[in-house]
Amino acid sequence: MATAPRKLDRPAFYALRPGGWRDLITLLHPPYTAWHLSYVALGAAAAPSVYPVRVAAALGAFLLAVGVSAHALDELNGRPLKTRLSRASLIALAVIGLGGAVALGAIGLVVVSPLLAPLVVVGAALVPAYNLELAGGRFHNDVWFALAWGAFPAFTGYFVNALTVGPAGVLVAAACFLLSLAQRRLSTPARELRRHTVAVSGSQRLIDGRELELTEERLSAPLEGALSALWLALVLLAAGLLALRL
């Protein structure tokens, strides 16, 4: 017997009950952070040569910049995840996360190549530009989301290994741009249903005469089902391809 869709009683399908250590887990947006880290791995797997230490450093930098800093800044802006973390804690996490990512990038400039400098600068600028909605929010839209958290991680994963721009890197970055665009177009209405919807009314009439009641749960189920499948598929794909190259 099919179970009824779960009531939308949390701000995200992966959010834990507020309080304590659970807030830190929720703040990381685990499925989405893993999803965007998979782009780094996909880019690295496309490079002519793959260097494990460089891949690990790139993954660490994006974990700190996106998983920690960007998400802490998001939570500062209106508490969308309804965590109980203090404002001071969120600011500290944002600063430490971005500072750690830049530090890893600076080490890369010395150990790997000065050619990484533009990536470090762009990465450091993207986090506040997008998450603080600088320049009147011009950087806070679907296209910039896909560029910042899709194409850029993938291209960085490729470039830190190849140290040159090649067709494979550009193509993988373009694919990750489109994947992030798809993610955004699924997650935006899903968030709207969970966080901003008071009520849903109406019905769907099928050609066989059946009538289905429209509810928040029914509308969100295919959106979040697709997101849940996609993040795991991308992580497994990236891990498999990277394992093949290492």
pLDDT digits (tens, 9 = 90+) for 172-199: 999 999 999 999 999 999 999 898 888 8
The CA distance from 238 to 93, in Å, is 27
Percent of the chain scoring above 90 in pLDDT? 74
Within a domain: residue 6?
A: no
Domain count, the chain: 1
Residue 1 has pLDDT above 80, yes or no: no
Encode burial over 154-188: b for 16+ CB neighbours within 10 A, e otherwise: bbbbbbbbbeeeeeebeebbebbbebbbebbebbe
Q: Using pLDDT thresholds of 50, 70 and 90, give the confidence band for residue 112.
A: very high
Within a domain: residue 74?
A: yes
Within a domain: residue 10?
A: no
- Which residue's structure tokens are 């296209």? 143
Residues 6+ apart with CB under 8 A from 55: 40, 41, 44, 157, 160, 161, 242
DSSP state of 114: G
Quote the domain boundaries for residue 51: 21-245
Average pLDDT rounded to a whole number, residues 73-78: 88
Within a domain: residue 96?
A: yes
CA separation, residue 102 to residues 62, 93, 140, 177, 225 (Å): 10, 14, 22, 23, 35
pLDDT digits (tens, 9 = 90+) for 11-28: 888 999 988 899 999 999
pTM of the model: 0.91
The token duo for 89 is 């804690």
Closest by Cα among 166, 158, 160, 152 to 111: 160
pLDDT digits (tens, 9 = 90+) for 83-100: 999 999 999 999 999 999
Beta carbons within 10 angstroms of residue 10's beta carbon? 17
Within a domain: residue 31?
A: yes
Q: Using pLDDT thresholds of 50, 70 and 90, give the confidence band for residue 4.
A: very low
Within a domain: residue 207?
A: yes
Within a domain: residue 16?
A: no
Residue 2 has pLDDT above 90, yes or no: no
Instruction: Measure CA 179 to chain center.
Output: 11
Within a domain: residue 11?
A: no
CA separation, residue 196 to residues 63, 163, 200 (Å): 28, 45, 11
CA separation, residue 105 to residues 28, 51, 144, 160, 234 (Å): 21, 16, 22, 10, 25
